[in-house]
Structure 1
Amino acid sequence: MSFTAAIIGRPNVGKSTLFNRLTGRRLALVDDRPGVTRDRREADARIAGLEFKLIDTAGLEDVNDDSMEARMRHQTELAVESADVVMFMIDARAGITPLDEHFAQWLRETGKPVVVVANKSEGSAGESGYLEAFGLGLGTPVQISAEHGQGMGELYDALSDHAEIIIPNEDDEDGVEHEDGVLHLAIIGRPNAGKSTLINTLIGEERLLAGPEAGLTRDSISVEWEYDGKRIKLFDTAGMRRKARVIDKLERMSVADGLRAVKFAQIVVLLVDATSPLDRQDRVLANLVAREGRALVVALNKWDLVENKKDVLKEVEDMLDLDMPEIRGVQLVQFSALTGRGLDKLMPAVMKAYEAWDSRISTARLNRWLDASTQAHPPPAPAGRRLKLRYMTQVKARPPTFVCFCSRPDEVPESYIRYMQNGLRDTFDMWGTPIRIRLKKSDNPFADKD
């Protein structure tokens, strides 16, 4: 990556719209109301042959207290500090405001190279605002429309001094990331479970906006990290409430973004507030992870605030066994994300779940197990005819998926399939991961004989 650019500006000037256009994907949530973005988000961006890392930030507010807005501003300041060039965005239709002038002065004091971007310049309505932007003293502004894609050539010219030109590869697949060896780990849970605090503690910096307010995170943010030599991409997601309680359009978008993060993850940590453990929504989220075929680790956060720890732990374990038979044996860890106490247990549990999810069993071992299992507990005999399970093979991992050839697959009861799944877990140590068994009718060798 040749350089890093940060998009900053006051709320609702179109920063996330430009971020999505330059990255070529709808990574950031976009809505007409101000203050949608709260955390800073990073992604690879491109304009023609110009490639760079792009940072989207929250809208700038002139506050310096302990409020949420002040913490959001601190995240933006960190983005500016790490950037090689800053794109300072204004709303050309609204013109230059006192807040724009205030932050223009702040940018001059940082000494960072600045490109003033006059957004919403389509038509004649933005002409006066564009001309006013010259008065900021930050060089010649660039007129663009992030929504309609206008002015990208001029923006290319303004940014090209900060990077080497890279010829695009026509064979690249649009929107597909090739990250060999990177483990994708999503953190999900109800609002205020401590997801952002957990990631901040893991990576050792205030990378994500965190606080006592519920619903701080609005879109899924990815953070790169390394654990024990393994590259990890952590996904922080918005808190997910029951569907019936989600009536706001922006919250629906946030939840949908979090669900997409689960689909693209490999391992999912379901973070639960230990002071109110495992309500119905937690069970819904766990079953969602199982349906998507992802490995699961259940983490009880705020464990230091729980008084009757043994009773709570027993209650949670019983609930997991009862309500989630499809991912039986899911690993359960307890810690405090705020203090870090007990957090050293989380990543070993994650790596163990990943090994089970990625495991492969040779056909010879699998069929020896199948023979022993059917002898110990023979398949049922519907209408007096014994079902025969003849052969089994693993067709893929992630999650472990098996095909079993049998005489009458439609008559094998669900209970016997669960028996086989639990037997595979117990024999081959594949706890906490979905196991899929597909039944297929075996060919009759005498079908074509007279």
Structure 2
Amino acid sequence: MLPQVIIIGRPNVGKSTLFNRLVGKKLALVDDQPGVTRDRRFGEAHLLGLDFTIVDTAGWEDEDAASLPGRMRQQTEASLKGADVALFVIDARAGITPLDEEIARYLRTSTVPIVLLANKAEGRSGDPGIYEAFSLGFGEPVALSAEHGQGMADLFEALLPHLDDKQAEHEAEVEASQEEEDYDPQAILKLAIVGRPNAGKSTLINALLREDRLLTGPEAGITRDSIAVDWTWTDPKTKAERPVRLIDTAGMRKKAQVVDKLEKLSVADARHAIDFAEVVVLLLDATRGLEHQDLKIASLVLEEGRALIIAINKWDVAEDASGLFNGVRAALDEGLAQVRGVPLLSVSARTGKGLDTMIQAAFDIRDAWSKRVPTAALNRWFDDALAANPPPAPGGRRIKLRYITQAKTRPPGFVLFGTRLDMLPESYRRYLVNGIRRELGFEAVPIRLTLRSPKNPFATKK
């Protein structure tokens, strides 16, 4: 693993801005109001030849451990234990505050090396704060501006003594692993968990990990950033280990209800996570059943071409469980007519019920999503489908379907060649798509069917 560097500081000193600067992308949400970041976010940082994992954390607040800010601080304390270096960030323009001094006292009890950063030091307005920072006892602070990219060379020099040897060890491990030619790991499953606020998405991921990795609580909308966590799932039947990247997302409410700027950013981040994923689990709340917003989220996932699983969470407290399940199944088949038979599972993040079944279903549906059918086998099925149900002849004009080929996977895409395809009814197109899904093993994954007619060489050229 790459050496790990954690960013610590009170709220609104620019930790997420520094994180984005080091990873070279705007991965973490940034806003002027404090407390935007709530969960730990990991990224691959590159700084003048130094490669390391950078960890953004929630702003450190002096609150009761049971409160939301208190639980956020516990997440930060937990992440410090696995770090190789901690970047303690202060606001140079604001100077040293009592909370900065409290954080410094805590960090002095840790064995992790501390690099003190005086952020927002552009111009001369930050000079008094830089001088004050010496009183924290971590030596000379590194003056920088994460927003403008100033001081990155000084940060490199401060990190180099702590990371140089660890990076060399990492490069040696990578080189050794590349020499193991027989080693062929299975591809990591990119699995996003989406749903309305308070459906239990973060709790579900914590249950899979068997640790309080993500911040949870009764308050709706705790998760803001989309958080990716790499994990290894052990198949309870075969004991085989499978790599999984779990992606937690912000709750997605009706568009008309989203007025807060941060929530808009969070929902946009969740949509980006869907696009990044291979399989998406839409989590429903058993105490609320299936709502119109759930169908809109499911349609969004299918429009993006992602494999979809729907899981009803909080099954341990569901009333009339059998009636609920059958009602949701019927509503899905009616509301998602473009993909009938989407896997529907019952789970409980609290008790662990159905979680292994959900992960196995995710691997299975990814196999179908990635499947490629040889052209010969595909056209044998195609000939049988035409013989069983020939295309119509609207107005007495025959529609001739010549052959079909699979153009892509992930999601599966097919191209149908023929003449007068502009006259082919949508019902017949659905007949072909449903046949592909049912007869060729594509299950309930989104399928793209493109119609292509040959160009007329005698058409008048403009």
> What TM-score range do you get, normalising by the shorter chain?
over 0.9
What is residue 199 of structure 1 aligned with on the other side? 205
What is residue 375 of structure 1 aligned with on the other side? 387
Q: Aligned partners of 1:308, 1:429: CA distance in 2, in Å?
A: 33
8 Å contact from structure 1 (residues 272, 299) kept in 2: yes
Q: Aligned partners of 1:50, 1:385: CA distance in 2, in Å?
A: 68
Instruction: Tell me which amino acid in the other structure corresponds to 2:148.
Output: H
8 Å contact from structure 1 (residues 326, 435) kept in 2: no
What is residue 216 of structure 1 aligned with on the other side? 222
Name structure 2 gaps, 5 residues minimum.
169-184, 235-240
8 Å contact from structure 1 (residues 363, 394) kept in 2: yes
Instruction: Tell me which amino acid in the other structure corresponds to 1:244.
Output: A
8 Å contact from structure 1 (residues 2, 163) kept in 2: no
What is residue 96 of structure 1 aligned with on the other side? 96
Instruction: Tell me which amino acid in the other structure corresponds to 1:48.
Output: L
What is residue 410 of structure 1 aligned with on the other side? 422
8 Å contact from structure 1 (residues 12, 32) kept in 2: yes
Q: Deviations over 1:180-202 (max 9, x none)?
A: 82221111100000000011111
- 1:10-409 counterparts in 2 under 5 A? 10-164=10-164, 181-228=187-234, 229-409=241-421
Q: Aligned partners of 2:382, 2:458: CA distance in 1, in Å?
A: 24
Give me the CA root mean square deviation: 1.7
Q: Aligned partners of 1:361, 1:445: CA distance in 2, in Å?
A: 32
Q: Deviations over 1:39-86 (max 9, x none)?
A: 001111011111111000000012243111111011100111110110
Instruction: Tell me which amino acid in the other structure corresponds to 2:163.
Output: A
Instruction: Tell me which amino acid in the other structure corresponds to 2:249.
Output: T
Q: Deviations over 1:105-162 (max 9, x none)?
A: 1000012100010000011111101100000001211001010111101101000112
Instruction: Tell me which amino acid in the other structure corresponds to 2:92.
Output: A
Residue 31 of structure 2 aligns to a residue whose secondary structure is coil
Residue 145 of structure 2 aligns to a residue whose secondary structure is coil
Sequence identity percentage: 55
8 Å contact from structure 2 (residues 231, 244) kept in 1: yes
Cα distance, 1:203 vs structure 2: 1.3
Q: 1:446 to 1:154 in 2, by over 3 A?
A: closer
8 Å contact from structure 1 (residues 237, 258) kept in 2: yes
8 Å contact from structure 2 (residues 186, 243) kept in 1: no
Residue 207 of structure 2 aligns to a residue whose secondary structure is helix
Query: What TM-score, normalized to structure 1?
Result: 0.94
Query: What TM-score, normalized to structure 2?
Result: 0.92
Residue 340 of structure 1 aligns to a residue whose secondary structure is coil
8 Å contact from structure 2 (residues 40, 56) kept in 1: yes
Q: Aligned partners of 2:302, 2:426: CA distance in 1, in Å?
A: 17
Residue 19 of structure 1 aligns to a residue whose secondary structure is helix
8 Å contact from structure 2 (residues 229, 247) kept in 1: yes
Instruction: Tell me which amino acid in the other structure corresponds to 1:15.
Output: K
Residue 54 of structure 1 aligns to a residue whose secondary structure is strand
Residue 327 of structure 1 aligns to a residue whose secondary structure is coil
Instruction: Tell me which amino acid in the other structure corresponds to 1:97.
Output: T
Q: Aligned partners of 2:447, 2:189: CA distance in 1, in Å?
A: 20
Residue 289 of structure 2 aligns to a residue whose secondary structure is coil
Residue 338 of structure 2 aligns to a residue whose secondary structure is helix
Moved more, 32-41 or 276-285: 276-285
Q: Deviations over 1:327-386 (max 9, x none)?
A: 221101101112212222111111111111011111111111111111111111111112
Instruction: Tell me which amino acid in the other structure corresponds to 1:372.
Output: D
